Amino acid sequence: MENNEALIIQILAHRNAAQLKLIRETYAATYGEDLLKDLDSELWSDFQRALLLWTLDPTERDAYLVNEANKQLTSSNWVIMEIACTRSSNDLFLVRKEYHARYKRSLEEDVAYHTTGDYRKQLLVPLVSAFRYEGDEVNMMLAKSEAKILHEKICDKAYNHEEVIRILTTRSKAQINATLNQYNSQFGNAINKDLKSDPKDDYLSLLRATIKCLTRPEKYFEKTLRLAINKLGKDEWALTRVVVTQAEVNMQCIKEEYHKRNSVPLERAIAGDTSGDYENLLLALIGHEDA
């Protein structure tokens, strides 16, 4: 396969998941080889990794990302939380199935094995195991009562209390939004402000990020991109992960949020932080919706 990165970007960066799958199947039938293996052998570094991630089916990609997080010496909790909280219930179910088939283990058992304490027992395993209701219906009486429960537990600093975890890991996103709006109205503070009692507490940081992912994912992804571009990210390839996983999902909202928060278009920020084929691929992907 001729090593022509510009042509590869032109062909692959402007295709959706179904088209990419067809390209992979056609390539395998024509040349008797897996396109992913060919790409893996001929390209390199950040560009290679971004292209490989993009070429994967979204379900395969998420299973791969969780497995990569689990393989780290201490699990990359934020990546696992991000996938569990920003995918639909059905998509997360399919990721669990794909993980099971590909790695011959359950996603839940690997997350449980690679995490400890509050992370495992209280938060991550329930999050990846969830199958939330996806509808828009909300119960306002329930929202009021559960806002009160959350406030009581936070005032008691019982951040890992089973009721806090139950609400965040089982309620629909619409119901959680209604509950947190009630929290704000009843107690005069956004819940994440009340969860900043110890800014250096890793569990509280993850809990705040969980709430942001469930309620305002574009704000979570904007911050992740900002930290990655400013070289303060929690993992070295957050920029690649967010751009690739969100290109077909929520990129326009993320771009608007980024511009509003930083007074700089995301395109310019990426161009200033990257170069070469890697830059060209990322810029093609964040403009994907307009392609």
Residues annotated within a binding site for Ca(2+):
42, 229, 231, 233, 271, 273-274, 279
Q: Please name the amino acid found at residue 116.
A: T
For 94: left if phi > 0, alpha if psi spans -120 to 50, otherwise beta; the answer is: alpha
How far apart are alpha carbons 42 and 1 in whole angstroms?
A: 8
CB atoms closer than 10 angstroms to residue 211: 20
The binding site consists of 42, 229, 231, 233, 271, 273-274, 279
CA of 237: how far to CAs of 74, 222, 226, 286, in Å? 16, 15, 12, 16
How far apart are alpha carbons 114 and 103 in whole angstroms?
A: 15
- Residue 152: phi and psi, rounded to 5, are -60, -45
Write out the DSSP string of 166-234: HHHHHS-HHHHHHHHHHHHHHHSS-HHHHT-SSTT-HHHHHHHHHHHHHH-HHHHHHHHHHHHHTT--S
Task: Give the relative orientation of helices 140-155 and 162-170 as an angle to the nearest 10 degrees.
Answer: 140
CB atoms closer than 10 angstroms to residue 57: 15
Helix (H, G, I), strand (E, B) or coil at 137: coil
- Residue 273: phi and psi, rounded to 5, are -110, -15
45 burial (CB, 10 Å; 0-12 / 13-18 / 19+) is exposed
